[in-house]
Amino acid sequence: MNRRNFLKLTAASSLALSSMGSHAVDFADQKKRVGLIGAGWYGKGDVLRLIQVAPVEVVSVCDVDKRMLSEAADLISTRQASHKKPRTYTDYREMLKEKDLDVVLIGTPDHWHCLPMLAAVEAGADIYLQKPISIDIAEGQAMLKAARKHNRVVQVGTQRRSTPHLIEARDRFLREGKLGKIGLVEICCYYHMRTRENPPDSTPPDYLDYEMWTGPAPYRPYNKLHHPRSWRGFMEYSNGIMGDMCIHMLDAVRWMLELGWPVEVTSTGGILVQKESKANISDTQTATFDFGGLQVVWQHRTWGEAPDPKYPWGMTFYGDKGTLKASVMGYDFIPFGGGETVHKDVTYELEQFPEDKTEAGLEKHVAPAMRNHMKDLLNSIATRGRPVADIEQGHISTASCILANMSMKLGRSLKWDAAAGKVVGDDEANKLLSRPYRAPWVHPDPAKI
């Protein structure tokens, strides 16, 4: 991409950047050396969107799956300007020993977010980290402290904050008060995304280092559902649908309404219908996040019909003057008592970025938000400011979803003391803030960061 076309595309996203409160910089000067840890579905998608918006050089790629690693390195070489093939590693520690990376992208399964992030910030890199940031709350506390200690910019992959039509909806309806007093927000996901299979355990394929893939997580015998992508069906490696889908919508609500921590979290549910599956995440769950004067209520079901087929995964803001429905696909504003409704569809950029049309696995409707998120990261690196999805915001949204899972497990509401980073008056719950690591991996202690 030549400089003129690059600057033209940068200007096209100025609305999104200005809405984030950022100061535009010339991304053509952002010649950063980049490393990728986790070269699967979203890891590749993230790094290829970064290549689209800045003349970065991806010099290192790491994955415990040698086949996936080789495919990613080959693809990256065809997409970056130098056409150089990145160095490849199967151990992130060996990659970070080089200490020659400006930016590290982490797209591993959730149980492998914390340790690579800590190592990368210690190596002097700024970070793009997929959500949820951590598998337990103590990990997130350690990650936030490490980012601040080392003065690193960390952008979390909650890219609803960089989605053009959601920025517009926030500015046009919420900030202008067109909904009036908002007392309830409903967020939901009714996708049938939980695996229904129950295949037998087997021997790991020879191209996968399953011992390293498992890492600090509790050990389970290898199963084809673990890798790739279906690992989200297991609590050993993820925070379930709460950590996969709720975090996006909860984080978007918090951003759009400028909310901090919930003061109390309550959740119920479990495996109520799909009992035949090997997956151990809930197939039905409701959670209430109490922000004091505002309730945000989540529900997911991986079975049955969505109440509103147009919004199977989304958020609905209820105000005394109107209702706003929003999702990754668009928004609808409905004023109370009649009046003009407003509808907006998601923005695609397939003509500006034709490679999006054929890229395997790419969520084409999300690509513009991913590019804006990368631009915001680069802007923050240039200014040493906080990105729109700063690690602290990612920690709040992640921990809130983990608290919901803890509430469901314990069968009671949990009051949260944000200043202390603990559940109020509940020793049993506080023991769950840190999940034991499998030896020889050592869980970070936030107090020692």
Q: pLDDT value at position 3?
A: 38
Q: pLDDT value at position 6?
A: 38
- Kindly state the average pLDDT of the residues 337-353: 94
Q: What's the CA gap between 308 and 311, in Å, rounded? A: 5
Provide φ and ψ at 247, rounded to 5°.
Answer: -55, -40
Kindly list the structural domains of the chain, giving each domain's residue range(s) and its CATH number in brackets, ordered by start: 3-161+362-390 (3.40.50.720), 163-347+395-439 (3.30.360.10)
- Kindly state the average pLDDT of the residues 420-444: 98
Q: pLDDT value at position 25?
A: 62
Q: pLDDT value at position 356?
A: 96
- The answer to whether residue 23 scores a pLDDT higher than 90 is no
Q: pLDDT band at residue 352, thresholds of 50, 70 and 90?
A: very high
Q: pLDDT value at position 188?
A: 98
> pLDDT of 50-77, one tens digit each?
999 999 999 999 999 999 999 999 999 9
Q: pLDDT band at residue 24, thresholds of 50, 70 and 90?
A: low
- The answer to whether residue 259 scores a pLDDT higher than 70 is yes
Q: pLDDT band at residue 190, thresholds of 50, 70 and 90?
A: very high
How would you class 3 by CB atoms within 10 Å of its CB: exposed for 0-12, middle for 13-18, buried for 19 or more?
exposed
Q: pLDDT value at position 338?
A: 84
> pLDDT of 289-301, one tens digit each?
999 999 999 999 9
- Kindly state the average pLDDT of the residues 75-89: 97
- The answer to whether residue 357 scores a pLDDT higher than 60 is yes
- Kindly state the average pLDDT of the residues 311-330: 98
> pLDDT of 92-121, one tens digit each?
999 999 999 999 999 999 999 999 999 999
Top pLDDT among 89 and 24 is at 89
> pLDDT of 202-243, one tens digit each?
999 999 999 999 999 999 999 999 998 899 999 999 999 999
Q: pLDDT value at position 75?
A: 97
- The answer to whether residue 2 scores a pLDDT higher than 90 is no
Residue-wise over 415-437: b if at least 16 C-beta within 10 A, else e?
A: bbeeeebbbeebeebbebbbbeb
The model scores a pTM over 0.85: yes
Q: What's the CA gap between 132 and 238, in Å, rounded? A: 9
Q: pLDDT value at position 5?
A: 38
Provide φ and ψ at 84, rounded to 5°.
Answer: -80, 145
Q: pLDDT value at position 15?
A: 41
